[in-house]
């Protein structure tokens, strides 16, 4: 299924005008689209066949995920974003988005803590809209066999979650 998805993705990008196409195989070179003619189409089909024949090779297929941000931007104005400042869709009532897609753009750093905080705030907004109680924040993580790093300890001290607004 991954190979079929990659094949269709490459075909879509080529139809859209991409001149260089990169497969997720380390063993195959990128496809360079020089001219738009029948011979080039045959060459592209041969390239797709090479990808299919190569299959998925352990530790030779570049599969990864990036932090996708900014695809459902938050904005105080409908024309500038997908969701309002509470995380609710401008177009669909009671549809809330609470992930990195509501950020205006990529942060350039690991977004884990920012997305956690943003999701928490949006969750509180959902509860407020439904007139439900906002539960207390969890206790800070204790020391243990985990790598040290940021925890909830002190992150929300002094924040009035009952009257949270943006």
Show me where the domains of the chain are located: 2-54, 66-166
Which pLDDT score is estimated for 153?
A: 47
Distance separating alpha carbons of residues 114 and 25, to the nearest angstrom? 33
How confident is residue 64, by pLDDT bands cut at 50, 70 and 90? low
Options 54, 61, 67, 70, the catalytic residue: 67
State both tokens at 46.
């041969």
67 is catalytic: yes
Q: Taking the CA of residue 142 as centre, how many other CA atoms within 13 Å lie in the half-sphere pointing to its CB?
A: 1
Determine the average pLDDT of the residues in 120-137.
92
Higher-confidence residue: 30 or 59? 30
Percent of the chain past pLDDT 70, that is, above it, reads 78
Which pLDDT score is estimated for 152?
A: 47
């Amino acid at each position: 299924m991954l190979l079929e998805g990659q094949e269709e993705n490459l075909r879509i990008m080529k139809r859209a005008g991409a001149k260089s196409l990169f497969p997720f195989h380390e063993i195959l070179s990128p496809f360079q689209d020089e001219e738009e003619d029948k011979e080039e189409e045959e060459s592209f089909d041969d390239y797709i066949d090479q990808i299919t024949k190569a299959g998925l090779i352990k530790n030779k297929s570049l599969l990864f995920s990036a932090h996708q941000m900014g695809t459902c931007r938050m904005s105080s104005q409908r024309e500038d974003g997908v969701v309002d400042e509470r995380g609710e869709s401008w177009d669909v009532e009671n549809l809330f988005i609470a992930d990195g897609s509501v950020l205006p753009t990529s942060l350039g750093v690991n977004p884990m803590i920012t997305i956690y905080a943003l999701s928490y705030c949006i969750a509180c907004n959902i509860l407020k809209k439904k007139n439900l109680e906002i539960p207390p924040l969890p206790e800070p993580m204790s020391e243990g066999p985990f790598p040290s790093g940021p925890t909830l300890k002190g992150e929300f001290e002094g924040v009035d979650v009952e009257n949270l607004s943006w």
